[in-house]
Amino acid sequence: MQSADDEPLTKATTPDKLLKQLDLAVSHHGVDADALLRLIDVYLEEAVRTRNPRYLQSLWGDTTIPGLAGDMLASLTNTSMHTYEISPMATLIEQEMVQTMAHIAGFDVGEGVFTSGGSIGNLYGLLCARDWKLPGVQHDGLSGRTLVAFVSDESHYSVNMAINVLGIGLDHLISIPCDADGKMDVAALSQEIDNQKRAGRMPFCVVATAGTTVRGAFDPLPEIAEVCAREYLWLHVDAAWGGAALLSPKHRSLLAGIDLADSLCWDPHKLMGMPISCSVFLARKANTLAKACSHGDEANYLFHEENAGVDRGRISLQCGRRVDALKLWLAWKSLGHSGWQERVDRCMETAAELEAKVRSHARLVLMSERQFTNVCLRYEPADSDGVDLDALNSSIRERISTEGRFMVTKAVLGGQVIIRPVIANPDVDGAMLDELLTEIVRHGDELSGS
Ligand SMILES: Cc1ncc(COP(=O)(O)O)c(C=O)c1O
């Protein structure tokens, strides 16, 4: 019999095949409990085993048990975060988590709110930046003014979406080149700010990334903060992925200068093992969110004078909002600061081990200096003359993921296809890493006829 450990991570069923074997349509009379249980069984069979340590594809891995318990408790008690009256303890828990995380980031006053993820956290950042630069914009709109923001060309696509949603226009998000390690080039940033000002546009925000999606690069925050102070620009840091490094005294220097930012987002549903979703948006100055999310006092059907100072619906873009702080609080209570530190350090050690194995393997090339737990690599045959290495590495990754022993993603870095295992699960061990690299090389040898 196959043990859970040997089970493939995915059935890799094609959409057509899966549709054929499922009865997805809902009906007038509904089905009985046995039928529902059978459907649940199929759902579980088809679900990708993301909690297995051999799942190295996404920026999240296992889910911690207190985190799972908190998520279930939130569904069981089913309330919403908009007023203290209907979510008393949840409100205080969210405040506590926000203050704890703000303090860790060095935002001594600080305020914040839980959101559905880094994508929405980036939207909050740009919204606060827009409102700060143009007081009154909530009523006047942009009124013909052309705002421009700046972000590195290795940033997450959600920044583009946020710019679009805010009506600023995708052409007004200026992409700044990165250095060889994937960090924003600050000289190019300064130059672009000048260019935009000369063209009559109004720079308002720089979005720096602390932990880029593909290679885990950290933009140089102190230098970027200096430019922002000089140019009167808001600095938002997308720390959705890299924020967890703040929990480790060994690794928090990766985010040196974060305390100089005006806002940041940080996803505990990534390296911190919280079930999706669990993400926080933090602003350095109090009252930032109350202004940006102001809806006047029109919602008298929800918000009353009592507890007005603590109602979290007054500082959020959402009305109905899930209690996502609960799972994080339970996990934090259980692990303590030291538990987080161990988790982050362990993931970093495993990533360093993987990097060393790649460096010492004759058939593997490390494609970018490792900064976080992302390891960008590719296979190259002994004789690579005339070999399409991009196609070869794409095929290797496809074979690996379809077989389902491991799952990893691929991306394009500097125009070259790379394979990117990432460590977000502290249970990944050296034997698994050896096995993964053996698989990559075996498929590479087979496909290239080496
Ligand atoms: C750097 C970065 N920012 C933002 C996001 C978006 O986060 P979420 O998926 O929580 O919306 C991601 C997702 O991977 C990311 O890597």
Q: Looking at residue 207, what is its pLDDT?
A: 98
User: Which residue among 59, 254, 267 is best mutated to probe the pocket of ligand 1, counting the most ligand atoms within 8 A of its Cβ?
Assistant: 267
- In angstroms, what is the span from residue 312 Cα to ligand 1's centroid? 24
Q: Taking Cα atoms as reference points, which of 346, 371, 368 lies closest to residue 359?
A: 368
Q: Looking at residue 1, what is its pLDDT?
A: 44
Q: Looking at residue 135, what is its pLDDT?
A: 92
Residue 83 φ/ψ region, left for φ over 0, alpha for ψ in the -120 to 50 degree band, beta for the rest: beta
Mean pLDDT of the chain: 95
The ranges of the chain annotated as CATH 3.90.1150.170 are 1-64+336-450
279-309 pLDDT per residue, tens: 999 999 999 999 999 877 678 878 887 787 8
Q: Looking at residue 297, what is its pLDDT?
A: 65
Mean pLDDT, range 318-335, rounded to an integer = 97
- In angstroms, what is the span from residue 371 Cα to ligand 1's centroid? 17
pTM across the whole model: 0.96
180-207 pLDDT per residue, tens: 999 999 999 999 999 999 999 999 999 9
Atom 7 of ligand 1, nearest CA residue: 118
Tokens of 328: 């994080």
* Res. 98: pLDDT tops 70: yes
Q: Looking at residue 334, what is its pLDDT?
A: 97
What atom in ligand 1 is closest to the CA of residue 276? 10
Q: Ligand 1 pocket by C-beta < 6 Å: which residues?
A: 59, 117-119, 156, 158, 209, 211-213, 238, 240-241, 267, 279
User: Which residue among 270, 279, 322 is best mutated to probe the pocket of ligand 1, counting the most ligand atoms within 8 A of its Cβ?
Assistant: 270
Rg of the chain on CA atoms, in Å: 23
What atom in ligand 1 is closest to the CA of residue 238? 3
Contacts of 396 (CB under 8 A, 6+ apart): 379, 419, 440, 443, 444, 447
- 10 Å Cβ neighbour count for 378? 25
110-134 pLDDT per residue, tens: 899 999 999 999 999 999 999 999 9
What is the percentage of the chain residues whose pLDDT exceeds 90? Answer: 89
Helix (H, G, I), strand (E, B) or coil at 413: strand
283 has which bridge partners?
111, 263
The ranges of the chain annotated as CATH 3.40.640.10 are 79-323
Q: Taking Cα atoms as reference points, which of 337, 272, 246 lies closest to residue 59?
A: 272
- 10 Å Cβ neighbour count for 386? 5
Q: Looking at residue 192, what is its pLDDT?
A: 98
- In angstroms, what is the span from residue 269 Cα to ligand 1's centroid? 10
Atom 14 of ligand 1, nearest CA residue: 213
- In angstroms, what is the span from residue 421 Cα to ligand 1's centroid? 17
Tokens of 211: 């932990």
- In angstroms, what is the span from residue 270 Cα to ligand 1's centroid? 9
Q: Looking at residue 310, what is its pLDDT?
A: 87
Q: Looking at residue 302, what is its pLDDT?
A: 80
What atom in ligand 1 is closest to the CA of residue 270? 10
Mean pLDDT, range 324-351, rounded to an integer = 98
Atom 16 of ligand 1, nearest CA residue: 213
What atom in ligand 1 is closest to the CA of residue 209? 1
Q: Looking at residue 305, what is its pLDDT?
A: 78
Helix (H, G, I), strand (E, B) or coil at 135: coil
What DSSP character marks residue 59? S
Q: Alpha carbon of 310 to those of 17, 87, 160, 196: distances in Å?
A: 51, 11, 32, 41
Confidence of residue 3 (pLDDT cuts 50, 70, 90): low
Q: Which carries the bigger pLDDT value, residue 2 or residue 45?
A: 45
Mean pLDDT, range 13-34, rounded to an integer = 93
53-74 pLDDT per residue, tens: 999 999 998 889 999 999 999 9
What atom in ligand 1 is closest to the CA of residue 269? 10
Distance CA 41, CA 43 (A): 5
CA 128 to chain centre: 20
- In angstroms, what is the span from residue 189 Cα to ligand 1's centroid? 22
Q: Taking Cα atoms as reference points, which of 288, 290, 297 lies closest to residue 264?
A: 288
CATH code given to domain 79-323: 3.40.640.10
User: Which residue among 116, 212, 213 is best mutated to probe the pocket of ligand 1, counting the most ligand atoms within 8 A of its Cβ?
Assistant: 213
Spatial contact of 395 and 1, defined as CB atoms under 8 Å apart = no
* Res. 75: pLDDT tops 80: yes
- In angstroms, what is the span from residue 117 Cα to ligand 1's centroid? 7
Distance CA 416, CA 367 (A): 9
User: Which residue among 59, 114, 152, 156 is best mutated to probe the pocket of ligand 1, counting the most ligand atoms within 8 A of its Cβ?
Assistant: 156
Relative to beta strand 409-413, strand 377-379 is: unpaired
What atom in ligand 1 is closest to the CA of residue 122? 4
- In angstroms, what is the span from residue 215 Cα to ligand 1's centroid? 13
Mean pLDDT, range 347-370, rounded to an integer = 98
Q: Looking at residue 4, what is its pLDDT?
A: 59
| Fold of the domain spanning 1-64+336-450 | Aspartate Aminotransferase, domain 1 (3.90.1150)
Mean pLDDT, range 259-281, rounded to an integer = 98
* Res. 376: pLDDT tops 50: yes
